[in-house]
Structure formats: C-alpha cells, structure tokens
Amino acid sequence: PHRTIRPQPGILDIELYVSGESKLAGAQNSVTKLSSNENPYGPSPAAKAAVIAAAESLELYPDSGHAALRGAIAEVHGLDPARVICGAGSDEIIAFLCQVYAGPGDEVVHTEHGFAMYPISARAAGATPVEAPERVRVTDVDAILSVCTDRTRLVFIANPNNPTGTMIGPEEVARLAEGLPEAALLVLDGAYAEYVRDPDFDAGRALVEARDNVVMTRTFSKVHGLGGLRVGWGYGPAHVIEALNRVRGPFNVSAAGLAAGEAAIRDRDHVARSVALNAQWRDWLAAELDALGIPSDRSEANFILARFDSPDQAGACDMALREGGVLVRRVTGYKLPAALRITIGDELACRRVVSIIADFLGRSE
Ligand code: PMP
C-alpha cells in the first residue's frame, strides 16, 4: 500500500470479480464458451442491423435520456417509461442502487450463493455486505428477514438466482417485500427472468406497481444476446428512479447499445425461439448428466449447476472439459466448490459437454 494515498475503507476488502473465461490458452480448435450464460443463438438480426446503422453517426453523443429505448421497454413490458432507467449492463444499475442507498454504517443483504456484484457494489459504496444463508441452494425469505436490521438499506435477490438456477414463487417474494424493515429497498434482479418455465412469471412488475420499496433490474446480456454491448435497465417507484438518475452519467449507454436494445426487445420471436431452445436443451442436459450420476437442481435459467462428489472431482472434470475445448464456470467463489456452472449452449455444445463428462467419468472409475 502507498504511504499516503489510500483507497476508501473497505475497497481493498473487495474480492476481484473473476468473469467467465472467453479464451483457452493454446487452443487449436474452436472453443465452446459455456462460462458466462450468453445466448448461444446470438442477438436478433434486427439488433445487429441497428448496430450497423448506428455506425453511421458514431461522432454524435447518444440520447442521454434514452427515450426510444425506455419507450420500447415500457411498451413491450407494459410499464411506465418515466420509471425505467437504463444502464451499462444491469451491473451499473446495481452500482447506482448501492451508491444512492448505502454508505458507511449501512448494511446490504445478499444471499449465500447470490450474484457476486452485490457485495462488491456494496463495499464500493462504503457499506457492509451481510450474507443470508440459503435453504439448500434456494433463496430463504425467513433467513433474509432474520439478518435484516435497522441498518439494512438494500436487499438483493436474483430470481432465478445465479449460479444456482433456482427460484422462489411470487408469494415468497411478496412476503419478503412486506417483511422488510422500513428503510430497506428490495431489489429483484431478473437477469434470467425470460427463461422461467411459467409463462405467467412476473419478474417484479406487479410488486413494483403495488409497493414503494421494490425495484426490478433486467438485462440485455442474456436472452437478448447483447452482452458485448452492455445494456441493462431498472424499473421502480418514481422516488427511486429519480434518485438513481442523479448519479447516472448522461451518456452511460452507448448509441449502439441503445439502438440494439430497442431492436432486440421488439423482436419477440427471437426471444421466444431462444427460450424454447434453451428449455429443450436444459432439460436434455440435466437428464443426461443426472443419468451419469451428476445431479443438478431444477434450473429456471439458461445454465445448470452440475454437482460433483467433491471439489477435486469438479476440478478434474473442469480440466477434462477444457482439454475438450469447452469452458464452463467453476463457482468456488460462490461457496460451491464441488459444482460447475454450465451455460446451456446449442445442441452441439450440449452433446459435446455430455460426451466429455461421460468419458471423464468412465476414465476415473
Ligand atoms: N445479475 C445477475 C444475476 C447476473 O448473473 C448478471 C450477469 N452475470 C448480471 C446481473 C449482470 O449482467 P449485465 O451487467 O450484463 O446486465
């Protein structure tokens, strides 16, 4: 550390976020990347066309009010456009929430196997992350309520959750919102909401409309296939969105991101196709691995959490997959050392995973 120039307290306690690898050192053949829950079918062709069109005027700053994108989001999801806020990925919305609502002495609650950016953004804001245990890899509302105090300012849950893939139902989410201390805001992270089996699943809209202590975050990085452009959004009560907009940089979403997001959200066929293929291959992959003795929890997302007998076995299988040109995600940092998180790829990718794991298990018998 430097003698006089020092980061704010808590900053050096942040564990670096390690993202899914995208390249395999020395790889000869094509690499199948199943480590970051991206859409294997890519974005809508209309989104690609919109990026190319946006390239005609790259010298111009983007619309700082995000009017067209907020309008499209509101139209498709039946929301009030004035209460939509867009960010450079939903990561940025998470960061805004922590910046605005949590500071030194405040607590930010997240779950045991919750998304890593919650504690990172909490610490970056000077606040203290507080972890609530889960009920065998499922969000536990009672456990969350029992760790809340009068210092709790934010409670983050992802539903479905990453990296477990599990979710809780609307009654449980409502019970959580109702039970929170008065000064706490509930953040429902719906990054994987489109993939939920129940076609009537509501990632938070009804609760946001009914209450004043709930915010929903969503992303274009998963089902919309735009991870490379960094676009996400949030929806909440007016008092929250107004506050978040105070810390938002005027040009936080690029012109290409705005244009692509608008085209992507309007292409409902592409979303429906991606969701259907994901469901088909998610069920297939889970059943095949289960038959090989590798169970996973019922996933409502675009990945499964494959559970091995031991951290060593998970590590060895990860190596075997790498040797076969497949990148998956070790989730040791999520306190799941005996598991591998595998994104649901296309048919070829799923078959590749099963054949490598079957070989691996055959060899290690
Ligand atoms: N929330 C959850 C639960 C996630 O898994 C992710 C992506 N890893 C994000 C938020 C952030 O995604 P993005 O910033 O690309 O919108």
CA dihedral in degrees (33, 348, 304, 18; nearest 10)?
A: 0
Which 3 state secondary structure label does DSSP give 125? Answer: coil
| Ligand 1 environment, Cβ below 6 A | 89-91, 115, 158, 162, 189, 191, 219, 221, 227, 232
For residue 193, the CA-to-ligand 1 centroid distance in Å is 11
- ipTM score of the complex? 0.99
Rounded to the nearest integer, the mean pLDDT of the chain is 96
Helix intervals (H) in 4-137: 45-54, 67-77, 89-101, 117-124
Taking the complete model, does pTM exceed 0.90, yes or no?
A: yes
pLDDT at residue 365, as a whole number: 63
Let me know: does 127 contact 106? Beta carbons within 8 Å.
Answer: yes
Q: Count of residues for the chain? A: 365
Of 221, 224, 252, the one to substitute when testing ligand 1's pocket (max ligand atoms within 8 A of C-beta) is 221
- Extract the tokens encoding 154: 């934010």
CA 108, CA 122: separation in Å to the nearest integer? 6
pLDDT (tens digit, 9 = 90+) per residue, 209-233? 999 999 999 999 999 999 999 999 9
Q: Closest ligand 1 atom to the C-alpha of 161?
A: 3
Domain spanning 45-267, CATH architecture: 3-Layer(aba) Sandwich (3.40)
Let me know: does 208 contact 174? Beta carbons within 8 Å.
Answer: no
pLDDT of 266 strictly over 70: yes
Give domain limits for the chain.
11-42+269-364, 45-267
DSSP 235: E
Residue with tokens 């704010």: 8
pLDDT of 101 strictly over 70: yes
Task: Return the closest-CA partner of residue 113 out of 157, 53, 48.
Answer: 157
Which 3 state secondary structure label does DSSP give 268? Answer: helix
> Top-level CATH class of 11-42+269-364?
alpha beta
